[in-house]
Structure 1
Amino acid sequence: MSDRNKKSGNYLDRVPVRAEHILWTVEESGLVTLDVENRGIFHRFAQRFFHKPKISHIHLDPMGSFVWCLIDGSRDILNLSASVKERFGEEASPLYERLSKYFQVLHSYGFISFR
């Protein structure tokens, strides 16, 4: 990322990278499931006393699955948005707001980082 992009803070110029610790699968239908290990003292407590699972399975919707599969660590969000628009058309509207929020959520859970 150039210095100009870093200073401008344009979220769409950010390049998402999938976290290596997240295991994931793609079903025949094309939907993605993320397998996230629940680690830490609170998770161990919940697993032992409330029978919570050691691994959570997060099922992405069709658009989220499509985007997840496109994340390659080289394309920025703006570039990814062009592919989403081509595939989903008006169904993706409002495109930039939805993608920005989607990536914010993925980042907040540690599923992705940014270059």
Structure 2
Amino acid sequence: MTKQKIDKNYLDYIPVKNPDIEYETNEKGTITVFIRWEGFFNKIAQKFFHRPKVSSIDLDDYGSFVWGIIDDKKDIYTLSKELDQKFPNMEKSLSRLIKFLEILKDHHLITYSEKKSNSNIKTC
């Protein structure tokens, strides 16, 4: 048996915000994301190591902009173009965007949907 190689274009993925994540925007437009730490091991860490039940993460200007334009419809390519328009002097904007989105995905703040040619969307 041979393995099938599946080529996927990363730029076609659509970031989708986790609906369970709370966030707020301050008067300057900076976004703070709140992560609730739940589960057995987190309860132990909270009790014995005085870890917080909720962590707040302040995003920088770039992160706040990207979080704000994620609308569960735009693909990564479209997000990168909007980022380039907002911050035209940013170096390596696409690689920085992809890295930022991967961090968000690793922390379960977003997931990815994949565009299909026949308009079916598959969640990754």
TM-score of the superposition, structure 2-length normalised? 0.84
User: Which one-letter code corresponds to 1:63 in the other structure?
Assistant: Y
Q: CA deviation at 1:42?
A: 1.2
Alignment partners' CA distance in 2, 1:100 and 1:111: 14
| Superimposed CA distance per residue, residues 12-64 of structure 1 (whole angstroms, 9 cap, x where no aligned partner) | 11000000110000011111000110011111011001111000001111000
Structure number with larger C-alpha Rg: 2
Instruction: State whether structure 2 residue 59 is matched by structure 1 residue 60.
Output: yes
Which of 112, 115, 119 does residue 114 from structure 1 map onto?
A: 112
Alignment partners' CA distance in 2, 1:75 and 1:89: 20
Alignment partners' CA distance in 2, 1:60 and 1:9: 29
Gaps in structure 2 of 5+ consecutive residues: 1-5, 114-124
Q: Report how many aligned residue pairs link the two structures.
A: 108
Query: Which residue is 2:83 aligned to?
Result: 84
Alignment partners' CA distance in 2, 1:12 and 1:39: 33
Alignment partners' CA distance in 1, 2:58 and 2:9: 29
Q: CA RMSD in A?
A: 0.9
Query: Which residue is 2:15 aligned to?
Result: 16
Query: Which residue is 2:46 aligned to?
Result: 47
- Taking only the aligned residue pairs, the percentage that are identical comes to 37
Q: CA deviation at 1:8?
A: 2.9
Gaps in structure 1 of 5+ consecutive residues: 1-6
User: Which one-letter code corresponds to 2:39 in the other structure?
Assistant: G
Q: CA deviation at 1:10?
A: 1.5
Alignment partners' CA distance in 1, 2:9 and 2:94: 12
User: Which one-letter code corresponds to 2:80 in the other structure?
Assistant: S
What SS does the corresponding residue of 1:12 show, helix, strand or coil?
helix
Shift >3 Å, 4+ stretches: none
